[in-house]
Amino acid sequence: MTSRTDSYRKESGHPMLSQLPPSRMKKGKIVSAEESVRIIRDGDTVATGGFVGIGVPEEILICLEKYFLKTGSPKNLTLVYAAGQGDGQEKGLNHLGHEGLIKRVVGGHWGLAPKLQKLAIENKIEAYNLPQGVISHMYRDIAAKKPRTITSVGMGTFVDPRNGGGKISDITDEDLVELINFDGNDYLAYKTFPINVAILRGTTADLDGNITMEKEALTLESLSIATAARNSGGFVIVQVERVADRFTLDARQIKIPGILVDCVVVSNPANHWQTFEQKYNPAFSSEIRVPVQSVEHMEMSARKIIARRAAFELKANSIVNLGIGMPEGIASVASDEKVIKYLTLTAEPGVIGGIPAGGLSFGAATNTDAVIDQPYQFDFYDGGGLDIAFLGLAQTDSKGNLNVSKFGPRLAGAGGFINISQNAKKVVFVGTFTTGGLTVSIKDEKLVIEKEGSVKKFLKQVEHVTFSGKYAVLKNQQVLYITERCVFRLTEAGMELIEIAPGIDLEKDILALMDFTPIMKQKPVIMDDRIFWSETMGLQEDLLSLSMDERLTYNPDENLFFVNFENFSVKTSEDVRSIESMVEKILSPLGKKVYTIVNYDNFMILPDIVDEYTDMVKSLVDRFYTGVTRYTTSTFLRMKLGDALKKRGAAAHIYESSEQARNALERETTRR
């Protein structure tokens, strides 16, 4: 049986793949852009790499467009891509938006390629919108010749075959998504298919086709796509900015090995910008770290109000995803509040840590901790690695469903939204309450609606389910919806209104502008007034302060009660009563006494509260503690608290370290 590669060599007429004279053979795999696109045959399935304006093989896409317009070939291609690739106008995948050139598109995000959108909406091509992370994973499964990519991602959304299976145009007939069941649980099975041609991008190639990416902002799924094409009997074309001699590249820097690469195209520099917004920023490619004092400051606006309220959901040491657009403002607020260093910001194409870029450089970041391949980032996301995700709010309904993917004739696509929103431990949707001309101001620390938006966002039913409220409830996921004037949370019964901005009229400014009546178990509380201050909110202190629930933990295996009063302050009698009440709540139901360790590092107590506090401690010791040890590095606190406890006949010695306190408790336990 003749292989596809052999067939290409006989039929394509490509100078690299036919019998070449010795002078051409010296070029190795280096060819012109036009020579490379002559590989592509009618009906081929072509996969492209890129993320917004990063890693897009622009030179080759330009040449493919020109070659088709000149010759009418290749035609009826199937285009496959994970992330959106384009500038929303002419660049990226917009070069392929010609009737006849494309027959079918399987894409993760459509918003940046309006020319492809137009073909889909006008039913001139078969069109699918599948989750970005799923397509990213499909490349690996295609490479391994697995028949399906199986995942729960997409359940309950428009991708679910019960809701359309991700089909976008009316002429799209084939089912690419199936519902299956394992061990009593439903999953989605996405059909895999061969990749005939991969069009990718790197920085440097050697004459054997080994590719490095030292100046690229992202590595994306380039290796996975190349492997998928190679193992499908297809071809791999890579655009680079320069060529090196054989055996001169660092083997550890090679991201696509030469055994997978057939053609290398050296690009015109004008078509090899690092992003569609910047020619080259060495900080984006982790070549340098730059001094960053803050993210761009935002003036007070609806966007900043929303970002400020959302920032209250941040927790120290959280791993965070910020979506494009409105959620980007949260990074600005976190920077203003000097808490960004306590978070790890991530982006779906593979960025971990650092300061995210926006606009047509979205996906890049400066001062990153690491940059990994996109499929592995989605492994992390899909498995629940994100503590919290902040995503845009375009339309929502009474069931908590969200639509960010399709609005009448406008096809935005889901991108990584479905993967991220379904699998983050907590998801916060952020957006204005209405859109279309909304103008707000703040007067006397109260929100004023100067001009109401003309378009409602809180609908009876969204037209496209990108996020399923029902599925989120089944997973017990925490979900909030934050606007400039109010906050909702998702419950089993639907959307509950829980907060309202100062100055806002509940009936006129909220309920009258919704197509459904939200649940109100009690009167909504007023949003934190700090959100409407002109100065910073003091979020750092909040972020670093643990709640009492987090400070008091009981380990039943060791019968050990740990009290973490590090960086805690006792200033009032109410503080003392609160501590006593919480300890009683945890220990009373046990019906037995416990061993206790108390961390007093950086603990602060006002002098006039010491006696009341130590009386409370003595009471807890008598009622609940079998043995107790304490520690702090503060000599003064050891003396002050020790003396007060000694007067009350409580165990008075306070150790200098947690290890000493633990050892002392173990000795006491052994004696007992």
| pLDDT for the residue 660 | 86
Known catalytic membership, residue 122? no
State how beta strands 263-266 and 235-240 pair. Answer: parallel
Residues 346/352, Cβ–Cβ less than 8 Å: yes
Q: Please tell me if the domain spanning 302-532 has the same topology as the one spanning 546-671.
A: no
C-alpha to C-alpha distances, 160 to 108, 191, 378, 441, 572, nearest whole angstrom? 15, 13, 19, 42, 55
pLDDT of 15: 45
Task: Choose the weakest-confidence range: 139-148, 155-164, 183-192, 647-656.
Answer: 647-656
pLDDT of the residue at 541: 83
**Residue among 24, 65, 28, 83 at smallest CA distance from 414:** 83
- The domain made up of 302-532 has a fold known as Glutaconate Coenzyme A-transferase (3.40.1080)
Lowest-confidence pick of 126-130, 314-318, 434-438, 547-551: 547-551
Residue 344 has pLDDT above 60, yes or no: yes
Question: 648 or 361, which is more confident?
Answer: 361
- Phi/psi of residue 91, each to 5°? -85, 175
R_g over Cα of the chain:
30
pTM for the complete prediction? Answer: 0.83
Say how far apart CA 544 and CA 226 lie, in whole Å.
Answer: 45
Tokens coding 549: 């629930």
Mean pLDDT of 461-465: 95
Amino acid symbol at 497: L
At 11 the pLDDT is 45
Predicted confidence at residue 2, as pLDDT, reads 41
Token output for 282: 């060495």
Q: Which of 59, 328, 348, 499 is catalytic?
A: 348
Q: Which tokens in the block code for residue 399?
A: 């069931």
Pick the range with the lowest mean pLDDT from 105-109, 419-423, 543-547. Answer: 543-547
Which pLDDT does position 26 carry in this prediction? 46
Q: What is the CATH number of domain 546-671?
A: 3.30.750.24
Quick one: pLDDT at residue 27?
58
- Listed residue (129, 106, 116, 158) closest to 403, CA to CA: 158
Per-residue pLDDT at 6: 52
Q: How far is CA 442 from the centre of its chain?
A: 31
pLDDT at position 545 over 80: no
pLDDT score of 490 more than 90:
yes
For residue range 248-277, list pLDDT tens digits in order: 999 999 999 999 999 999 999 999 999 999
* For residues 391-418, average pLDDT: 95
pLDDT band at 82 (very low <50, low <70, confident <90, very high): very high
In this model, does residue 588 exceed pLDDT 60?
A: yes
Distance CA 360, CA 86 (A): 9
Average of per-residue pLDDT values in the chain: 92
CATH class of 4-146+195-271: alpha beta
Strands 402-403, 395-397: parallel, antiparallel or unpaired by DSSP?
A: antiparallel
**Of the ranges 69-78, 476-485, 543-552, which one carries the lowest mean pLDDT score?**
543-552
Q: What are phi and psi of 99, to 5 degrees?
A: -60, 130
The domain limits of the chain are 4-146+195-271, 302-532, 546-671
Tokens for 82? Answer: 């994970």
